[in-house]
Structure 1
Amino acid sequence: MKQLSEGLAKIDRSQLPGKFKVWCYQFTLYRRVMWPLKMSEIPSSTASKMDGKANSFIRKWLGLPRCLSSTGLFGRNILQLPLQSISLGYMQEKTRLVLELRESTDQTVRNANAKVPTGRKWNAKTEVDRAIGRLQHQEIVGRVQAGRAGLGWGEAPWFWSKASRKERKEMVVAEVTRTEEERYKIKAVSQGRQGSWTTWEGVANRNIRWADLWKIPQDAGVTGGNLKKATKELAEEAEKGSFWLWLRRKDKCWGKNT
Structure 2
Amino acid sequence: MLYGIATSTVEGLERTVSRYLRRWFGVPPSFSNIGLYSRTNQLQLPLSSLVEEFKVAKTRLVVTFKESKDDLVRKTGTETRTGRKWSASQAVSQAESRLQHKDIVGTTAVSRQVLGIIKSQRWGSADSTTKRQMIQNEVRLAEEEERRTRAVSMGAQGAWTKWCTTDRKLTWAEIWRCEPVRLSFLLRSVYDLLPSPSNLHRWGLQDNPICPLRDKVGTMEHVLSACSTSLTQGRYRWRHDCVLGELADTLERERTKKREKQSPQIIQFVKEGQTAPKKKAATTSLIDESDKWEMAVDLRRKLIFPDIVQTNLRPDIVIWSRKDKRLAMIELTVPWETRCEESYERKRAKYTELQEQCKGRGWKTWLFPVEIGSRGFPAQSLWRMLSAMGITGGERKKVIGRLSLAAERASSWLWLKREEKSWKPTTDT
TM-score by length of 2: 0.41
| Structure 2 gaps, min length 5 | 183-429
Out of 170, 184, 196, which is 1:208 matched to? 170
Q: Which residue of 2 aligns with 1:72?
A: 35
Letter in 2 for 1:204: T
Q: Measure, in 1, the Cα distance between the counterparts of 2:153 and 2:116.
A: 34
Return the alpha-carbon distance in structure 1 between the equivalents of residues 16 and 115 of structure 2.
46
Give the counterpart letter for 2:157 in structure 1: Q
Q: Distance in 2 between matches of 1:110 and 1:214?
A: 47
Deviation at residue 215 of structure 1 after TM alignment: 3.3
CA distance in 2, matches of 1:53, 1:46: 11
Is 1:143 the counterpart of 2:68 in the alignment? no
Structure 1 residue aligned with 2:402: none
Shift of 1:91: 0.6
Secondary structure, counterpart of 1:160 in structure 2: coil
Q: Give 1:23's aligned residue.
A: none
Task: Tell me the distance in 1 between the aligned counterparts of 2:156 and 2:109.
Answer: 31
Q: Give the counterpart letter for 1:126 in structure 2.
A: Q
Query: What SS does structure 1 have at the residue aligned with 2:124?
Result: helix
Which residue is 1:3 aligned to?
none
Provide Cα deviations, 1:64-122, integer angstroms capped at 9, x if missing partner: 21110101100131000000111111111011010011111211110101000111211
> Which residue does 2:130 correspond to in 1?
167
Q: Give the aligned residue type for 2:174.
A: D
1:148 deviates by 2.3
What CA deviation, in whole Å up to 9, does each residue of 1:4-30 have, x standing for no partner?
xxxxxxxxxxxxxxxxxxxxxxxxxxx
Q: SS of the residue aligned with 2:28?
A: coil
Q: How does 1:1-258 map to 2 (within 5 A)?
A: 38-75=1-38, 76-154=40-118, 156-201=119-164, 203-216=165-178
Instruction: Report the Cα distance in structure 2 between the residues aligned to 1:123 and 1:44, rounded to whole angstroms.
Output: 9
Residue by residue over 1:138-197, the C-alpha shift from the partner in whole angstroms, topping out at 9 and shown as x without a partner, is 11111222222222123x100112111111111000001001001101111121111111
| Larger relative contact order (CA 8 Å, sep ≥ 6) | 1
CA distance in 2, matches of 1:149, 1:92: 28
Q: Distance in 2 between matches of 1:93 and 1:128?
A: 12
| Overall identity of the aligned pairs, in % | 37
Q: Which has the higher strand share?
A: 2
Letter of the structure 1 residue corresponding to residue 109 of structure 2: Q
Q: Please give the per-residue CA displacement for 1:212-257, whole angstroms capped at 9, x wherever unaligned.
A: 223335xx9xxxxxxxxxxxxxxxxxxxxxxxxxxxxxxxxxxxxx
Moved over 4 A (4+): none
Structure 2 residue identity aligned to 1:152: G
d(CA) in 2 for partners of 1:52, 1:178 = 21
Q: Which has the larger radius of gyration?
A: 2
SS at match of 1:162: coil
- For 1:30, the equivalent position in structure 2 comes to none
SS, match of residue 82 in structure 2: coil
Take 2:78 and 2:113, find their aligned partners in 1: how far apart are those partners?
44
> Separation in 2 of the partners of 1:127 and 1:145?
26
